[in-house]
Chain A
Amino acid sequence: MFSKILIANRGEIALRVIRACRELGIRTVAVYSEADRFALHVRKADEAYCVGPAPSAQSYLRVERILEVARQSRAEAIHPGYGFLSENPVFAEVCEEAGIVFIGPSSETMRLSGSKTASRRLAKQVGVPTVPGTDKDLTDEEILRRAPEIGFPILIKAAAGGGGKGMRVVREADELQSAIRGARSEGKSSFGDPAVFVEKYLVRPHHIEIQILADATGHTLYLGERECSIQRRHQKVVEEAPSPFMTPELRLRMGEAAVALARGCGYRNAGTVEFLVDADRNFYFLEINARLQVEHPVTELTTGIDLVKSQIRIAAGEPLSLRQEEVERRGHAIECRIYAEDPANNFAPSPGKLIRYRPPSGPGIRNDSGVYEGYEVSIYYDPMISKLIAWGKDRGEAIGRMRQALGDYLIGGIKTTIPFLFEVMADAAFLKGDVDTTFIEAFLKRKKMEEPRHREVGLVAAAIHAYLADKERRPPAPAAAAGAVSPWTLAARHDALRRR
């Protein structure tokens, strides 16, 4: 087992890894940018080193600097978290060459999973269906020819695109020409590459992903699925396990497909295989995420397996003793990502100081956060404040506990998505389990402006608050009789005089 691990990340995930290391008796090394000197992960680690100024490119993404810190601190392994360098094959390779264990899959596996064409080829090889489509760099004429073969509606995607950019949905053949033009132009201006490819557009698909875990011997397991269809601008907002759309038969087929893909590329450590599932429960392979994912807690709570500790153990060479038939599924878990965004203002980012931070608690409540009261949410990194997770014996109990926790979760000083999530947890469609990738759009349209029921209480409290504030500002009335003046009155007078 390692005696020291460097965490090449920040925020809540850095804290998550630090906690796992502490449990295993492993010393931790934190890296931080100049903007993160006050971050929680810095003071929770055993050692901390500055890696550069605020912008990620000059700090958290600096491969050489991070390696330098690893050498200096004699860290034996590096956990990359998610985002940043976690799926960077060059970083994994450099670690391998430096004799430092990279906690994750190999650089070779990353190269494969990072390539759309290579991973689709792998899927074909192992017999896993992919979304019908083409490879990139097709000419306009080839696209016009292939489109009706694939079947409308189709999606024209910029090959270099991501995050929902450079995509056009085409429902009829006569829309093709202008859609291709539009996608190429967006691809060129946003990513410098006008190449496009074509995929069948699945109507109202579910985004369902399978967690996999593999040890150094190649023993590979799937740990159930996560439903991640509730997304905004292709960014996940609410995730849950198990998926309300799943059947035991589909879970088995998708799980085995995920394991086949993992084995097919020699996958080691933790990873996630993403699929799209259509209304008829046909599943299509999308991509492999060669890292630990943000939403891993819902899998942890429903299987009882600590994924981060598993990652560390696997990287240290320990074999995975669990057998597939021993993987349990207990209850239901829901995760809500709390972002520093203003839902009333088109989810505009809301950085600033957390003048109040009062996280919820209670049975089945877990809050993975990297913030504290007084913390300044900066503009340099993504705006996630915490992940609130609720576990219940069934979906209904999990939802009830989540709603209660969101109601108690107080964050003051910035706007957050808490009020929005609070309403989602009461939404009829959500309660029924009608969640697919069109959910948020539809929810925002149908959300009735609920008549607030506690306006008067709010008014009353605000009035008393103002009254007390005003009372504090005014000097106290002079003593009615020339008797002994209590030390409290004296102090109040002294205070009032001072404040003026």
Chain B
Amino acid sequence: MEFFARIGDKEHRIEVTDLEGSHYRLSVDGVARDVDCVRISESCYSLILDGASYEVDIIGGANPYVVRVKGEVHDVEVLTEREKRLKAVTRKAAAAQEGRQVITAPMPSKVVRLLVAVGEQVNPGNGVIVVEAMKMENELRSTGAGTVREIRVKEGEAVVGGHPLVIIE
């Protein structure tokens, strides 16, 4: 079975073939290897590759999977060909909204400080608004460049998780 796996910004083509017992043949970008893999629980696997043994925890039922091995954590998105096509179509539809950034409250919190005003230019990484939750203040930042179009809250306001705070385009 063929998959497209993405870690960070690199994409790989992986073919998985079920062999007998706990063996699989995997081809990663054309390079084949045999893997002995047993499932210990819903999120835990024991892999042996050429005698090297690994305990791998895969957390989360949905993509991207949070994969933990030997203390390293990787976010891996694994899609079938069909799922990959579907995603591209959805992305195209969302392109109509391209460049529009809605900064939302990550969880129920209180707006402490606005760091920008409507009309102001922001660059990626610029702090936009400071919210307080769980006894700590958190500065939310813009991921892209643009202009602050709308500020939907005022300082001191309590908001629910997901509440749109600042719109940047």
Residues of chain A at the chain B interface (Cβ within 8 Å): 233, 346, 348-349, 351, 355-356, 358, 379-383, 406-407, 410, 412-413, 419, 422, 452-468, 470
Contacts and interface: CB of A to CB of B under 8 A. Distances in A.
B94 to A, nearest CB: 23
A457 B54 contact: yes
B86 to A, nearest CB: 14
A410 B66 CA distance: 12
A207 B70 CA distance: 33
Given A346-B138, A348-B106, A458 B72 contact: yes
A181 B104 CA distance: 34
Contacts of A410: 57, 59, 68
B106 to A, nearest CB: 7
Nearest to B67: A458
B102 interface: no
Nearest to A452: B72
B76 A464 contact: no
B28 A458 contact: no
Interface in B21-60: 24, 26, 28, 33, 35, 37, 39, 43, 45, 47, 49, 54, 56-60
A464 B71 contact: no
B70 A407 contact: yes
Given A346-B139, A410-B57, A419-B73, A459 B7 contact: yes
Contacts of B33: 460
Contact of B1 (A351, A379, A412, A470): A470
Most chain-B Cβ atoms within 10 A of its Cβ — which of A456, A463, A467? Answer: A463
B133 interface: yes
Given A379-B134, A407-B70, A467-B1, A462 B58 contact: yes
Nearest to B131: A348
Contacts of A453: 70, 72
Nearest to A426: B71
B87 interface: no
Interface in B5-27: 5, 7, 12, 14, 16, 18, 24, 26
A383 B133 CA distance: 10
A470 B69 CA distance: 22
13 contacts: A233-B136, A382-B135, A407-B70, A412-B57, A412-B66, A457-B47, A457-B54, A462-B5, A462-B76, A463-B16, A464-B26, A464-B45, A467-B16
A461 B133 CA distance: 36
Nearest to A404: B71
Interface in B126-153: 133-136, 138-139
B104 to A, nearest CB: 13
B13 to A, nearest CB: 10
A458 B1 contact: no
Given A348-B138, A349-B136, A460 B26 contact: yes
B107 interface: yes
A355 B65 CA distance: 13
B71 A458 contact: no
A92 to B, nearest CB: 23
Contacts of A470: 1, 80
Interface in B71-124: 71-74, 76, 78, 80, 106-109
A172 B30 CA distance: 64
A40 to B, nearest CB: 19
B65 A407 contact: no
B155 to A, nearest CB: 11
A461 to B, nearest CB: 4
A381 B56 contact: no
Contact of B3 (A348, A351, A467): A467
Contact of B74 (A412, A455, A468): A455
B59 A413 contact: yes
A459 B1 contact: no
B7 to A, nearest CB: 6
Nearest to A407: B71
A351 B139 CA distance: 17
B65 A459 contact: no
A462 B58 CA distance: 7
Contacts of A356: 43, 57, 59
A458 B56 contact: yes
Contacts of B35: 460, 464
A456 B56 CA distance: 12
A143 to B, nearest CB: 27
Contact of A466 (B3, B7, B45, B71): B3
A380 B33 CA distance: 49
Given A349-B107, A459-B28, A379 B133 contact: yes
B78 A349 contact: no
A459 B138 contact: no
B43 A412 contact: yes
Contacts of A458: 7, 56, 67, 69, 72, 74, 76
Most chain-A Cβ atoms within 10 A of its Cβ — which of B28, B68, B109? Answer: B68
Contact of B78 (A419, A457, A463): A463
A407 B55 CA distance: 11
Contacts of B136: 233, 349, 383
Contacts of B37: 460-461, 464
Contacts of B74: 452, 455, 458
Nearest to B46: A461
B71 A406 contact: yes
A356 B60 CA distance: 9
B71 A419 contact: yes
Contacts of A465: 45, 58, 65, 78
Nearest to B64: A462
Nearest to A382: B135
B107 A351 contact: yes
A358 B71 CA distance: 13
A166 to B, nearest CB: 13
B134 A382 contact: yes
Contacts of B12: 459
A426 B75 CA distance: 23
Given A422-B71, A460-B33, A462-B67, 10 more contacts: A233-B136, A348-B138, A355-B59, A356-B59, A407-B70, A453-B70, A457-B49, A461-B69, A463-B14, A470-B80
